[in-house]
Amino acid sequence: MSAIILLLLGLGGMAAGYFVYSRFIASRIYKLDPNFRTPAHEYEDGVDFVPTNRYVLWGHHFTSVAGAAPIVGPAIAVIWGWLPAFLWVVFGTIFFAGVHDSGALWASVRNRAKSVGALTGEVVGGRARTVFMIVIFLVLLMVNAVFGVVIAKLLINNPGAVVPVWGAIAVALVIGQLIYRRIIGLGLVSILGVAALYSLIYVGPMVPVTLPDQVMGLSANASWILMLFAYAAVASLLPVWMLLQPRDYINGLQLFVGLILLYGAVLLGNPQVVAPMINSDVPAGTPSLLPLLFVTIACGAISGFHGLVASGTSSKQLDKETDARFVGYFGAVGEGALALAAIIAATAGFASLADWQAVYTAFGQGSLTAFVDGGANILANGMGMDVGVAATLLTVMAALFAGTTMDTGLRLQRYIFQEWGEIYQQKWMTRPLPATLLAVLSCLLLAFGAGGADGSGGLLIWPLFGTTNQLLAGLTLLVITIMLVKRGRPAIYTLAPLVFLLVMTLFALLIQLKSFYEKQDWFLLGLDLVVLVAALLVTLECTAALKRAFKAPPEPL
C-alpha cells in the first residue's frame, strides 16, 4: 500500500477532528467565551501574564509538547503492524489528546491560570495533589532515563551524527550570547544558526566518531549515557538564556523543517508500506497489543505532559478564551502529525518485509533507530538526499529533541527535590547542586538498573513511562470532568477517555507485573509496583471525587 494513502487518511482525519469535533467541544461543552477576561489580561505583568498572538502561542505550545516521545512510542508500537498504531494515533488525537489539551487550557484559564497540580489540589483534594507530585516525579525520572539510553544508542548507530549533535550545543551557546547581548537581530541569528547546524550535519558523516569498546571498564553505550547525564546536569544548572532558550528555538525550527521534509518526501517519493497491516507473526516475548498499545504510544495519542505545558505557561498567555481551541486542540493535531510521520518512517522506509522484520526482532527494538533508518530512506528516495546525510539529519533532530527534554526534565526534577528539601527541612537538599546530583543519580540508577551494566535495556521501561504519562492525563481529565459536572454540562466527552485510560493503564501494569515476575526482573517489578500503587490511588481519587461531584447540585457558574 502507498504511504501517501496513510498520510492523507491520517491528516484528513485529524483535520476533520479539528474542524468538526473540536468546534463542538469548544462551543457546546467548554462553552469558550470570546468576551471572558483571560488571566493574561486580568493579571498582565509583562512577565508571566502576557496576552500573546495565538499563532505564536501555538508555535511554542506545539514545540514544547512535541519532542522525541511521539516518535519513540509509535516507532516501537508498529511491531503489532501499522494499523493499530495508526488508528490509535488518529483517533487518540481526535477524541483524547485534543479534548484533553484544550480542556486543560480552559480549566486553567477559568481558575486564574493555575497549573494542573494546583488545580487537582483545589478541585479534587489535597491527597490528589500528593499523588500528582509523585506521578510527575516518576514521569520525569523515566523520561530522563529512557532518553539518555535512546540518544546513546543513536550515537552508536550513527557515528556521523556525533559531531553535529554535540556541535549543536556550541551553536546554541553562540546564538544565546548573540541574542542576549543584542549583538545581531533574531532573523539573522536564526539564518546563521540553522546554516551552521546544517553544515555540521553535512560534515558529520565525513568525520564519524566512535568510542572505543571499553573505556575504564565501561562499554561505549554506558560511557555515552554517563556523558549525556553529565551534560544535562551542567545544562540544567546554567541560566536558561544561555543554552536552553536558544536550543529550544533551534529545535522548534528543526521540528518544522523535519516535518516538511518528511511529508514532502513521502508525497514526492511515494514509498510503499512494507510492514504488515496487523502483524500476526510478532517476535516471541512481545506483549499483547491490548492493552500495551495504549501505553506504548502516549505522546502522539494522549499525554499528560501536555496538560502541564498547557496549564503551566500557555494558559497565562492566552489572549482570548476561544484561542484555547486553536492552541490546545491544534497543538495536539501537530503532535499527532509528528507521530504519524514516525509511523510512516518506521513502516514504509524499508525495502522489503524481510528488512523490516530484521529491525523489529523484539519488543522495544526499532524505536528511534527504525525512525532514523526508515526516514532516511524515504528522504533519500523522495528528495534525492544522500542516505548518510539524511540519517544524520534525522538523528540530530531526534537527539536534539530528546536532549532538550532531558535538560528540562532534570531541571524540573531538581525543583522537586528542592521542594522536598524544604518540606522535610533538609537544608542541603534545597541547594541547586546537591539537588541536581540527586536527580542525576536517580536517573542513572534507573537507566543502568533497568538495562544492566551497559544500560542497553533501558527501553524496557518505555511502556511504564507511557503508563505514568497516562495517569497524569487521567488526573487532568478528572479535573476537567469535575468542572463540567459542577457546571451541569455533559461530562461524557472527558469521562469516557478518562475511564478508558484508567482501565488500560491498570490492565497494562498488571500484564507487565506478570511478565517482570516471570523474567525475575525484580528491579522493574518494584518500579511497576510503585506505578501500580500510584495508579490505584489515582483511580480511587477519581471515583471518590466524581461521586461527590455527581451528588452535589450543579453550581451556578
Partner 1 sequence: MTTPTQWLKRISDLGAQYYNAPYRAAIARAKRDEEDLFMLLVFSEMMGVPNPAAWSTLELQPLLMERFHDWHTRMGMERSPLDHFRCC
Tell me which residues touch partner 1 (CB under 8 A).
Answer: 46-48, 50, 52-53, 55-57, 59-60, 64, 179, 185-187, 190, 239-241, 244-245, 248-249, 252, 313, 317
Q: Which CB sits closer to partner 1, 317 or 470?
A: 317
From residue 129, alpha-carbon distances to 94, 105, 133, 304 in Å are 28, 19, 6, 15
Q: Shortest approach of partner 1 to residue 62 CB, angstroms?
A: 11
Is the distance from CB of 443 to CB of 465 less than 8 angstroms? Answer: no
Q: Which CB sits closer to partner 1, 253 or 536?
A: 253
Q: Shortest approach of partner 1 to residue 47 CB, angstroms?
A: 4
From residue 465, alpha-carbon distances to 19, 234, 470 in Å are 32, 24, 9
Q: Which CB sits closer to partner 1, 241 or 517?
A: 241
From residue 5, alpha-carbon distances to 109, 202, 210, 259, 370 in Å are 39, 32, 40, 17, 21
Is the distance from CB of 93 to CB of 329 less than 8 angstroms? Answer: no
Q: Which CB sits closer to partner 1, 186 or 441?
A: 186
Q: Which CB sits closer to partner 1, 238 or 499?
A: 238
Q: Shortest approach of partner 1 to residue 408 CB, angstroms?
A: 10
Q: Which amino acid is at 31?
A: K
Q: Shortest approach of partner 1 to residue 60 CB, angstroms?
A: 5
From residue 314, alpha-carbon distances to 107, 129, 477 in Å are 12, 21, 17
Q: Shortest approach of partner 1 to residue 44 CB, angstroms?
A: 12
Give the span between the Cα atoms of 462 and 469, in whole angstroms: 11
Give the span between the Cα atoms of 139 and 532, in whole angstroms: 13
User: What cell numbers appear for 368 in the block?
Assistant: 528511534
- For helices 244-269 and 367-383, the axis angle rounded to 10 degrees is 60
DSSP, collapsed to helix, strand or coil, labels residue 318 as strand
Q: Which CB sits closer to partner 1, 258 or 366?
A: 258
Q: Shortest approach of partner 1 to residue 148 CB, angstroms?
A: 24
Q: Shortest approach of partner 1 to residue 133 CB, angstroms?
A: 21
Q: Shortest approach of partner 1 to residue 186 CB, angstroms?
A: 5
Give the span between the Cα atoms of 38 and 258, in whole angstroms: 34
Q: Shortest approach of partner 1 to residue 190 CB, angstroms?
A: 7
The DSSP output letter for 278 is S
Q: Which CB sits closer to partner 1, 319 or 355?
A: 319
Q: Which residues contact 5 (CB under 8 A, 6 or more apart)?
A: none
Q: Which CB sits closer to partner 1, 257 or 513?
A: 257
The neighbour count for residue 41, using CB atoms within 10 Å, is 14
Give the span between the Cα atoms of 105 and 100, in whole angstroms: 9
Q: Which CB sits closer to partner 1, 110 or 316?
A: 316
